[in-house]
Structure 1
Amino acid sequence: MRPKSKNNKTLTAILLIAPFIVCYLVVFAYPVYKMFAMSFTDAPLIGEGDWVGLENYVRMFQHKLFYTSVYNTLYFVGLTVVPNTLIGLGIAMMIVRLNGMVQAGILILFFMPYILPVTVVTQIWQWVLDQQFGVAQPLIEAVTGKRISVFRDPLWAMPMVALITIWWTNGFNVLLFISALRNIPTDYYEAASLDGATRMQQFRRITWPLLWPVTALVLTLQLIMQLKIFDQIYLMTQGGPFNSTYVLLQLVYREAFGRNQGGYASAVAVALFVLIVAVSILQYQLLKARGKS
């Protein structure tokens, strides 16, 4: 009876994981394989092409716009990942001190932008930042002395897209941090208070160490998501002005859908894939070392 029971369990396990394996192979593994394979051909977006070896990669590294898009992508990551995480932590620590309906209302207020589609977010901020009628222009004028069309100014465009992205996505980070804060036993803080620890000391010795796993998770998710930036850039600036917001995924989009050069677009996509993997591994190692220290 035991062998039969073991076989039944094995069959049940296979049936349960089979849908995931099929979806993984169809939705992720096969497209990734095709991307790598196409990057060595001169294929159009749809259809087969001839083998060209490393020609697409040589062309990519000779393409000035590729280096511009890499720089802009990393610049955007620098503007968003750490600030988004720290702002989410700060907001969560303020919200968790509230109670009842006040806490629920404030949490909904911060989380609501996260459920909006990017098109709605874009429209809202185009109205807010409109050079003539935008409600934010008096503040910009007070700081700079003049009204500025922020999405047409090379100095303002990328920081403004980063600010909008933080406003849009921060609600998810807030939820993660609130969940982590609620899991910290209050006994720790009571004992620390009896020992005369200040709020800053409690944060450094209790809150921050216990929040570190969630902080590392938020940083990793933010890094991967922001390296794949495309929607906001495409809708708000179209990569301009003067390519100051041109990012890697926009280069992939242009070469694939605009110029029908699937092989070259695949090579750029492979470069982005390698960049995401390399930066993610580097960040993981840094966070791992920080967690042990």
Structure 2
Amino acid sequence: MLRDKRSEYLTALVLVGPFVLIYGVLFVWPTIQMVMLSFTDAPLIGPGDWVGWDNYVEILTHRLFHTAFWNTAYFVLLTVVPNTLISLLIALAVSRLNGWVQGFVLACFFLPYILPVSVVFLTWNWIIDVQYGLVQGVVSLFNGGEPRSLTRTIPLFMPTVAFVTIWWTMGFNILLFLAGLRNISPEIYEAAQLDSASRWRQFTRITWPLIWPVTALVLTIQLIAQLKIFDQVYLFSIGGRQDATIVLVQYVYKLAFQQNKGGEAATAAVLLFAMIIILSVLQYQLLRARGQK
């Protein structure tokens, strides 16, 4: 028995060892180095002197960090729950289709997800352009007949980028919800129909509880992704007031690559990393607890 257990342990080590090694080299060790760097005044490249907690005090009291934090929180509020709800509604509609029609409609919704961010930016930058944008006709109706730049007007910037982000990313969420819906046995709905249950009652009593684990997964994935938002905000803010629309990852980029403050950039990255871990774990556990009730 001891020999069999040793053989099992050796097999497990051979199978898991390469992954653990690669994970440690590419993630764990760089994370440790980043944490150590956050306690120094090092530039982007090169060593620095130990400054202890000074970087954390400096970052947490920096006005631009507060702006980046609240912009990120606002963006999360605009995208995470709306994206999840819209994806669920579309998935419910697509699930009622059959054959090639369902495949075609699903492909139309999923196609934007595989596009690179540069293509998404160029496409929507053309659509919302002040001079010849397709949506400026609608914008003019609410702006006294005059066109208006949606990405140069500060109050409209985040909602515009949030709308583009939802359009871009909801295809993957729709696939997840469809997978969850297809795991629900049709016999459950047939039994509900025999009891004269309405569509709304079937959704609230059958569909929603059974796909709640998928909903929790989508919400968690969206929370992590939107806390790390950078590409869309950075591209749409080019030529505008970037400090007014800055987000946390953009703040790290600014410190590291524009101001050559490697230590402070590492500090901001550590704070963002801790925030993502705490919020995502807390949200997932709360959603799991709700689903088990």
TM-score category, normalised to shorter length: over 0.9
Alignment of 1:122-137 (within 5 A): 122-137=121-136
Q: Is the 8 A contact 1:92 1:175 kept in 2?
A: yes
1:15 to 2:14 alignment: yes
Q: Is the 8 A contact 2:227 2:276 kept in 1?
A: yes
**1:191 match: secondary structure:** helix
The one-letter amino acid paired with 1:131 is: V
1:222 to 2:222 alignment: yes
TM, length-normalised to structure 1: 0.96
**2:154 match: secondary structure:** coil
Runs (4 or more) in structure 1 with deviation over 6 Å come to none
Q: Is the 8 A contact 1:154 1:242 kept in 2?
A: no
1:246 to 2:246 alignment: yes
The one-letter amino acid paired with 1:218 is: V
Task: Tell me the number of residue pairs that the alignment of Structure 1 and Structure 2 aligns.
Answer: 292
1:268 paired residue number: 268
1:87 paired residue number: 86
Deviations 1:11-52 (A, max 9, x none): 221111111101111111011101110010011112211100
Distance 1:159 1:239 in 2: 18
Instruction: Note the aligned Cα RMSD (angstroms).
Output: 1.4
Structure 2 unmatched ranges of 5 or more = none
Distance 1:276 1:73 in 2: 12
Q: Is the 8 A contact 1:239 1:246 kept in 2?
A: no
* TM-superposed deviation, 1:241: 3.0
1:52–1:239 CA distance, 2 compared to 1 (3 A) = farther
1:48 paired residue number: 47
The one-letter amino acid paired with 2:114 is: I
TM, length-normalised to structure 2: 0.96
Distance 1:267 1:10 in 2: 40
Q: Is the 8 A contact 2:213 2:288 kept in 1?
A: no
Distance 2:229 2:128 in 1: 21
The one-letter amino acid paired with 1:177 is: F
**1:152 match: secondary structure:** coil
The one-letter amino acid paired with 2:8 is: K
The one-letter amino acid paired with 2:90 is: I
Deviations 1:231-265 (A, max 9, x none): 11111114953633210111100111111110000
Distance 2:247 2:8 in 1: 49
